[in-house]
A and B are shown apart, each in its own frame.
Chain A
Amino acid sequence: MSDIDKATVAKIARLARIRIEDDKLDHLAGELNGIMHWIEQLNEVNTDNIAPMASVVDAKLRWRQDEVNDGGIQDKVLKNAPNAEYGFFTVPKVIE
């Protein structure tokens, strides 16, 4: 079913925002293909009329009250930032 070629690896890497050098693509394609082919034994399982598992916990989502009890911690939010200025995080300039 799957056949992960060099171009596919490059595409996935782009989606995942991980730079992969061209000379590594072939090796990675081989590895990923190995894993995916092993995974494809799942095709043997008949899953007709089986609902996908929705959650491990057999419960309804709990709701919180609409109360402001967080925030106001700009210093903590920015504390670990590689670069922050005037209360903002910064990133290389984006041109839209």
Chain B
Amino acid sequence: MTDLTKLTIAAARDLMAKGELSSRELTEAHIKAVEAARPLNAYVAETPEMALAQADAADAKRKAGDARAMTGIPVGIKDLFATKGVHTQACSHILDGFKPEYESTVTQKLWDNGAVMLGKLNMDEFAMGSSNETSYYGPVKNPWRAEGSNKDYVPGGSSGGSVASVAGYAAMGATASDTGGSIRQPAAFTGTYGIKPTYGRCSRYGMVAFASSLDQAGTITRTVRDGAIMLESICGFDPKDSTSVNMPVPNFEAALTGDIRGLKVGIPQEYHLAGMPAEIEALWHQGIEWMKAAGAEVVDINLPHTKYALPTYYIVAPAEASSNLARYDGVRYGLRVVPNGGGLNDMYEATRAAGFGDEVKRRIMIGTYVLSAGYYDAYYLKAQKVRQLISDDFKRAFEKVDVILTPTAPSAAFAFGEKSDDPVSMYLNDVFTVPASLAGIPGASVAAGLDAQGLPLGLQILGRPFDEETVLRVSGVIEEAAALKAEPKVWWR
């Protein structure tokens, strides 16, 4: 019998539609895979009983003729999305024991569309990190290893559990979130497809906030088509989020025509970084050739403020985070530490000292500093001005081109501990993904090749606001052209 966990969402959907597969069978196979994948540390909470109940409900619905886009498809949920009555901690110690009395809009949409929840996925604490090493629940291991090596590699971050579960066949798809690259960079590190829609497409209601003006939900899947199916099922207007945009959601799967003839593809010259591995330059070049071969027109463009995106991000995101994370104070939920005889302030300080990890503390400190009296104009206001310039760069570029093609990350996955000593070198991982986050435009990372060690590399496609369709279509063309047959060698089961 075929391994059901290796099916794509589209294939499973079609088999279930034909009555050749039940969600119960599919889900049972995945529950086993989740257990077997524990060495990856992708899940921080498994919900097999809930999954089976949802699977049976999905099968019943299908019988009743009420099958939807995700009916019966088992997925994993990043620990950042509130799931009613289920572990929701953004992988932080400070939310110890927190089980929300509410459901995030994104997950509610998935359940409304018939999806099945396998469990909650590991991530960098509060989505702050690029290697999934900051999780209170320990790092996630990348299913991929360098050829002939037994060394463990990081899966990227912050959506490390999402990509590891999908790449490791322990979920057909996963929700993820992207603040500065947390969907795209880990997708590139694991050979998966990660797409972050336009800011405002997915509701942020019930999604634990990191940086409100940047956070956007998205999906991790193994194929572009699966990405189109799953993404469509989580997008849509939500009156409970003031930044949610009231626009109809197109049929994303229908956008995968494979036809990009005449499309203008921009190549930003500023993304040719000094010191970038030749393999990545070569892959990018290969991508350009694929575009030309498919009949697209390739145009050199300039995004002059690219260089300043990271420092801008490291003001804006920590500033917002320092305020968003003020609610974790030991009063209403989560961890509470009261030193002997301590007062209210002692409780705050002890709770937050014990509850937050080093990276989260660092960012809260930076955020507090850049907003504090005397520094606001020099840092925060300055950053918001540069952010406007970065956004204007994209606006001007999209007057000339329909889509932008770049590498997703400046390197392939790295081994544990390699970059965790120096915060700034870790931050540089997001150099290609952060600009689009600042501008709020849609972006995806599609697996396009392997490096010399056999580790996956991704190409990034950026689109105009609310033009996810073109991003998906171009992603599909690259996926087909790359025709990547490699998959991680299963070492964890």
Contacts and interface: CB of A to CB of B under 8 A. Distances in A.
B381 A16 contact: no
B378 A55 contact: no
A83 B312 CA distance: 40
Interface string A60-75: 0110100000000100
A42 B313 CA distance: 11
Contact of B366 (A36, A43, A62): A36
The SS class assigned to the A binding surface is: loop
Nearest to B312: A42
Given A20-B353, A80-B98, A92-B342, A45 B386 contact: yes
A53 B389 CA distance: 9
A51 B387 CA distance: 10
Contacts, number: 160
B369 interface: yes
A19 B213 CA distance: 28
Interface of B: 97-101, 199-200, 213-214, 239, 242-243, 245-246, 305, 307-308, 311-312, 314-315, 322, 326, 329-336, 338, 342-350, 352-353, 356, 361-362, 364-366, 368-369, 372, 375, 378-379, 381-389, 391, 422-424, 439-440, 465
Contacts of B342: 92
Contact of B423 (A35, A53, A92, A95): A35
B365 A13 contact: yes
A43 B312 CA distance: 11
B369 A12 contact: yes
Closest 9 CB pairs between A and B? A52-B384, A80-B333, A19-B349, A56-B440, A82-B336, A47-B385, A17-B348, A76-B101, A19-B353
Nearest to A8: B369
Contacts of A41: 307-308, 311
A93 B422 CA distance: 41
Interface in A19-69: 19-20, 28, 31-32, 34-36, 38-45, 47, 50-53, 55-59, 61-62, 64
Nearest to B338: A92
Given A18-B353, A20-B353, A91 B388 contact: no
